[in-house]
Structure 1
């Protein structure tokens, strides 16, 4: 996986303004996102590098030598304790007994900025290779799967990290530590494995080539940085990825993968004393290297004038992006830049948002960012509607950004942003496992405490500080963008550097006290003992699960139901109601809703459709009931402003148009008429798939009057279910009944569940032609007659996990990705409901267009093999453990627990049903699972659909060895 660094910013359209939770951490301006979903886990190994061994040490697991070096406590801050081993390894422990999971993260202070000529993408390629194993751990994905661990790795310009999470277990924690210590020095970096993994990484690069926003960002970064390596894309260049010598990769590994260049972080449930002992045993004997680290020393000189470029690609929405050079994370100005980004682009109060989006010149704006270890960029941009005058919008964008640099901002706006950071601050301290991700970025920037210093600086920021920072950095001569304007006098902006990145950090003190949680048992029996279900006087069904959480957190989920499916099948307006609810009530504007939810230390989200709505709420014990009052106000007193409707409609039309040329859109457009015909569906039938032209007409024809009428007719608490998990305040049930119990509409049509009827679909083949797309997609789908109440379903769940649902451990992933190197991501999924038996089984993959027939042939061949010979007992044992561990781990998440309680209220079941499903999986025999596989997996019934640029890269014929067996 590549996580593009803190210099990057990616525009995103519309999420709930009060969905503050973990997303608030992104306010920090670190731009931790733009993650590319990845499965950077690979296979085997061999003894590649031999390391120096220290005299007089005792042998330990993994073939390494261990002396019992003790970890020395360095400091503690905010519940995090820092230790240091004599070999230089830094260790951070963040214990939290309230969650029954543990996360282990090791961050190496090496990223793409450390690469030399011809090595572009090598840091990320090495991340992939470290899942190939070592002499002691020959199949790392299999070892993780055997223990039910979730795992991955990411690479940025400044660092590479590897992380795993698992149900708290002494044995699993010791395994994770031993594994990381082993592959730090003894990973197998082989030419034979590089040849296969290179094609997987190349396909990952091709996926990014399909994203116009990502491409524009890469190009402008390259324009902004003429010399510094931040201008190179972390994923690298195709030629370097294809041709990097194995010797360079091995040398890079030996140079940077050492204890003195790594930070080990452990968060969640743990025994601190034991954990330290295990860290000492696993890492203490690793020798302290004698080499000197090669540190990058390139300094980007001050920019001496505007720079410009233009990118033309097929698909996507028009976009403008301007980058301004700014300091790194350790510089105090990073805090002001974080606030400045929100003041410009936050919806709905940002000045740039008001200027461009509300006037319909743009459908979205974005702003923010600072550097990482070295100075980086502050990004400002806009997504435009298709017919926009890009030149005029560019002038307005730059005027809105560079003119305010000479003005002051309102104190109340700065205070509002600071209050949001205050909530983000609490969120970090509440969730040690989530905090590990931010700490990894701080480590990359120079010191793990920088994140706390940044937040502290934001909390004390003044309006004059923001104005000074804007005036200093948002200068035309410091700008790189998609246009060029000459100037008579060049202006050079000197970007300050930090020599001592730990300055002032020793004086940090934490003023937040977050209450500890309880030790929690997520087994179905323990959950049932905690759960209380009742019907309130108003008829609302309520289920509560008391649970002492860190920070007194409470999670609430609600379901509302109405109507029959056929009666609302053509109601395009149904999906609009919940979007417009957030635009304001009779008492609160959209901005006031955001401010009030921040004040109440929580957030909520509402989503609705034709037959009901769902509501999710997160707050603290002391603020839950007031926040529920705000939710009730939003649900019951919306104003549906006309301006908001027109703005959102314009955004929707722009997004609809932007996706017209995407492979997924083209594939669906080709296959939907076939499924409609095969299933006997016509407009007005539930489940009918509208064509693109039909959807455009529906979108264009929706009216505000129809939206209001739908709300008035259907939205109510006539049928309502509520689930609550966490620290329950006194009088919660009474408050819920008071807030929602009288929200009744006696004349509203009652809810009628629609049951899809299973119908077989004849096999077919569809190939959609896309233009100028480096990545292609495929789906192989069949209909199956099954529901999740069936005794077959738990067995099919295991079979699917082994076939393609178990990521790197699955048959298809091993064959198509690891052995053939044809796909970056391939998997399978079973879509099964509770009430009806109309289900599907599908296989999906991405690939280079020229590899289409080879990929299909390899898939058919592998499935023919598994149908003939079945899975092995070892495969079943690993899959069983992995699935059971995942099911247990899901029950440690409060949102998942609340969702399960709602499902129980609807189906009139209890936690015993989960135990029955677990037991069915525990008792499943190999013969039973293979029989279920053969019963439902029918390649002769597949509907195969692909989409890609097959004219630019014609598919190659399948190799004979890959096509020997066809179902």
Structure 2
């Protein structure tokens, strides 16, 4: 005991840098390697997973604690989530964690759910970042300060986050269904917790919770991406091995939800226009083989357009849309269905109709085609996750919380082995009306009740003990995150119709290929009043062609582990493609067929209008939607005939109702084409073969009406503060904008970018606005600012946003205006300049490790002729800026007398 106390004293008093030398190091013990996931362990109980991927230029450190809302007791609801926030405050050794994360750049976050809490950091791959991240996570595992003064501010931030969720009708209803479905198990409690518990908990109580669960024997550390494995293990040994295994026994939770003995009903009455029917069925834990079968059954029931529920409810326009899911959880969860109901439908009648359709689940004669289609969809999702190492490492969070990372492989194996008998078995076992929560008690005789299987830790250990997994796949080649390397691996070309393209030769994991295309269409006259027509055209493109039905298109894309998405934005028709090297040619053939032979079925148009309008109706009383819409209308007063006109939400609904199939067909035949298009393909591609495929897909796709760029009009903004009242909404929002003239070539651009970094957008919540409103005063969950500076015109803007409790409206307004005034009057400090130069450079380097950044840079070059070197040139300019230049730029372009602000919320609340 004396030796243990001495060790603990050393750990809490020595600096993090000296911590490693306080005790003898222990090398992590190798356990197993399953398909590239290398497992190690320490004698203190900590698990380590390494997922090396040299094709990445970034790395992620993700630490997972097996504690979530499931582990909260009486009076502790929301404690796990509140503690997640508090661990971003400070530690005894490192001090301000957010400040240091900000200085490092990159991306960081923490999340909490039923069974787990995690923290992760994504940084450019280098030894310094790896060492710091591991040192920091080891320090805050045992040395978080958890000060009452910090808690007094942070509980308001968490309460504001709680209130944001309270504005979402679908989220509120789902929370109530889960709560009613679970009589005893804590899955019935929302992870974000009780507002009363959040507000009343004291720091000493929170510390007891922290000291119990935030320990090495309750943690799994994941390191993924590009990193030196030997150094990673060395740092794990240096910082985590000295932490002693606690003497306490966690014990775990032991509550088992009893079988439900009658159908339950929940009614929620709140402000809003949304009509929703939902239903939850007690089902299986993630470790249960039934979980994979239930996932497949969900696809069979809800898929667009083949699902049985989809055909019987959406196709017939009884509901406008539906979705379903089953959470990845340690104990028996729910299968949850959500149905959006059009405004003109009777809700009670629809509820009974939905119940009637759900009752058919156990009696449907499912087919082998149903099974094959569902398996293809699920395996595509699994394959895509496997081949994105960073996302996979973060995705392990849920699997570890559900019992251990090996369960992910068992789930995949279970999906691959699924039979029609499995589908029928789970349909008949779980989908009984007495197992459903859609409360009255109805006596019944000889009731057959559903009791979910319980899995002990020993059973899960037995399931996974000797699991070996499949053979290791070939590692993707490294790709340096730099503009020079991008230029060396870029080939450009022009198709026969004038479309420009770029090919980036970057090997991705699993030989994945991603491509983004932008087709520039129309002119001011031809696009006037056609925003709804254009949006619906894009949404309906894949609804069928002269050679394939919508179902056939979707089925084949799922079988190929591929996706094609369309959308419009002004004069831009956007196409995103995700596939794999061996499937690229066929996927592009499918795209060519869609572009050349789309049929736009009338029934699909009718359904899409209903779905869009149901969503818009729900937005009519949502503070964020109202504020965004009204701000655009106030700042950009275009006439209705302009393509830049922002309609009201009701006008958008009315416009959708007026759209005809003939209008869509005319838009498609006359305005759409690739002759003024551009696009980039990224992956391990053969340039000649890919160029031939692009020519085949786009070369003959030519618009009849010539493209002519429409430039926006400059409207000078003047000071305006306007309120919009949204009764009975728990959260409010503030949005604002100021217009000025600038393009990205302007000599003041770099200085203004850095000024805005310091004021509202730079670092990890360390810019002035978030530091004041969130960190110091705790009156806003999310607050910040951003610039919008174009390439080819000079209509630019500075913008801010803040989410808040409606009772804090005046405090938020006073705080953001005061911070802007201080910056304009006194300027920034030399330290702020230095810190933000560093964090900006780090963020830019992190972004170069992201595939979408590379694609966007090439597309920008193709469209505007902007050299790739401008990416580094801007950072060079920013690093050379003097303090007086940054302060002068802010004063020149930002003025409180020119900012339009819109506040939306229930400001009548006291």
TM over 0.5: yes
Specify the SS of the correspondent of 2:95: coil
Q: In 2, distance between residues paired with 1:336 and 1:839? A: 52
Cα deviation digits, residues 359-404 of structure 1 (max 9, x gap): 1010112223156111111112311111222233222222222222
Aligned pairs (5 A) from 1:486-497: 487-497=444-454
1:98 to 55, 65, 68: 55
Q: 1:367 to 1:669 in 2, by over 3 A?
A: closer
Q: In 1, distance between residues paired with 2:636 and 2:867? A: 37
2:504 to 534, 545, 550: 545
Shift of 1:762: 1.8
Aligned pairs (5 A) from 1:63-212: 63=19, 65-212=22-169
Q: Specify the alignment match of 1:951 in structure 2.
A: 908
Q: In 1, distance between residues paired with 2:896 and 2:585? A: 54
Conservation of the 8 A alpha-carbon contact between 2:69 and 2:191: yes
2:386 to 429, 436, 440: 429
Cα deviation digits, residues 729-757 of structure 1 (max 9, x gap): 35221222233212234xx2221112223
Q: In 2, distance between residues paired with 1:503 and 1:308? A: 39
Q: In 1, distance between residues paired with 2:629 and 2:889? A: 33
Conservation of the 8 A alpha-carbon contact between 1:321 and 1:380: yes
1:401 to 355, 358, 364: 358
Shift of 1:483: 7.7
Shift of 1:530: 2.1
Q: Specify the alignment match of 1:661 in structure 2.
A: 621
Shift of 1:540: 2.5
2:808 to 851, 859, 863: 851
1:589 to 542, 549, 561: 549
Q: In 2, distance between residues paired with 1:404 and 1:143? A: 53
Q: 1:308 to 1:562 in 2, by over 3 A?
A: closer
The reply to whether residue 743 of structure 1 matches residue 701 of structure 2 is yes
Shift of 1:316: 4.4
Aligned pairs (5 A) from 1:481-880: 481=438, 487-499=444-456, 500-511=459-470, 514-571=473-530, 572-609=532-569, 611-668=571-628, 670-671=630-631, 674-677=634-637, 681-729=638-686, 730-745=688-703, 748-806=704-762, 807-880=764-837
Conservation of the 8 A alpha-carbon contact between 1:796 and 1:932: yes
Greater mean alpha carbon deviation, residues 249-258 or residues 608-617: 608-617
Q: Specify the alignment match of 2:179 in structure 1.
A: 222
Greater mean alpha carbon deviation, residues 710-719 or residues 340-349: 710-719
Q: Specify the alignment match of 1:277 in structure 2.
A: 234
Greater mean alpha carbon deviation, residues 298-307 or residues 596-605: 596-605
Shift of 1:67: 2.4
2:846 to 870, 889, 902: 889
Q: In 2, distance between residues paired with 1:51 and 1:943? A: 58
Q: In 2, distance between residues paired with 1:834 and 1:134? A: 44
Q: Specify the alignment match of 1:372 in structure 2.
A: 329
Q: 1:682 to 1:428 in 2, by over 3 A?
A: closer
2:435 to 472, 478, 485: 478
Specify the SS of the correspondent of 1:952: coil
Q: 1:374 to 1:738 in 2, by over 3 A?
A: closer
Greater mean alpha carbon deviation, residues 635-644 or residues 797-806: 797-806
Cα deviation digits, residues 170-211 of structure 1 (max 9, x gap): 001000000000000000011111111111111111111111
Shift of 1:561: 1.8
Q: In 2, distance between residues paired with 1:926 and 1:887? A: 21
Shift of 1:910: 2.3
Q: In 2, distance between residues paired with 1:392 and 1:59? A: 66
Greater mean alpha carbon deviation, residues 115-124 or residues 295-304: 295-304
| Count of matched residue positions in the alignment of Structure 1 and Structure 2 | 900
Shift of 1:484: 7.2
Q: 1:352 to 1:485 in 2, by over 3 A?
A: farther
Give the TM-score taking structure 1 as reference length: 0.90
Greater mean alpha carbon deviation, residues 901-910 or residues 349-358: 901-910
Cα deviation digits, residues 556-584 of structure 1 (max 9, x gap): 22221222134312113122211111101
Q: In 2, distance between residues paired with 1:695 and 1:54? A: 65
Specify the SS of the correspondent of 1:622: helix
Q: In 2, distance between residues paired with 1:370 and 1:668? A: 32
Q: Specify the alignment match of 1:334 in structure 2.
A: 291
Q: In 2, distance between residues paired with 1:629 and 1:371? A: 36
Q: Specify the alignment match of 1:35 in structure 2.
A: none
2:395 to 425, 438, 442: 438
Q: In 1, distance between residues paired with 2:893 and 2:221? A: 45
Q: Specify the alignment match of 1:931 in structure 2.
A: 888
Specify the SS of the correspondent of 2:151: helix
Shift of 1:796: 1.3
Q: In 2, distance between residues paired with 1:175 and 1:653? A: 49
Specify the SS of the correspondent of 1:614: strand
Q: In 2, distance between residues paired with 1:798 and 1:885? A: 13
Q: Specify the alignment match of 1:17 in structure 2.
A: none
Cα deviation digits, residues 117-168 of structure 1 (max 9, x gap): 1110000000000011112211111111111121010000111000010110
Q: In 2, distance between residues paired with 1:613 and 1:159? A: 41
Q: In 2, distance between residues paired with 1:50 and 1:592? A: 68
Specify the SS of the correspondent of 1:83: strand
Q: In 1, distance between residues paired with 2:575 and 2:472? A: 29
Shift of 1:664: 2.8
Cα deviation digits, residues 801-841 of structure 1 (max 9, x gap): 11111251110111111111111111111111111111111
Cα deviation digits, residues 462-519 of structure 1 (max 9, x gap): 1111111111111111111188766455432111101211233244343365432221
Shift of 1:943: 1.2
Q: 1:505 to 1:263 in 2, by over 3 A?
A: same
Q: Which blocks of at least 5 consecutive residues in structure 2 are unaligned?
A: none
Shift of 1:608: 2.6
Q: Specify the alignment match of 1:52 in structure 2.
A: 8
Shift of 1:653: 1.9
Shift of 1:697: 2.8
Q: In 2, distance between residues paired with 1:483 and 1:78? A: 50
Q: Specify the alignment match of 1:286 in structure 2.
A: 243
Q: Which blocks of at least 5 consecutive residues in structure 1 are unaligned?
A: 1-48, 954-967
Q: In 2, distance between residues paired with 1:241 and 1:912? A: 50
Q: In 2, distance between residues paired with 1:701 and 1:533? A: 42
Q: 1:536 to 1:364 in 2, by over 3 A?
A: closer
CA-based RMSD: 2.1
Specify the SS of the correspondent of 2:356: helix
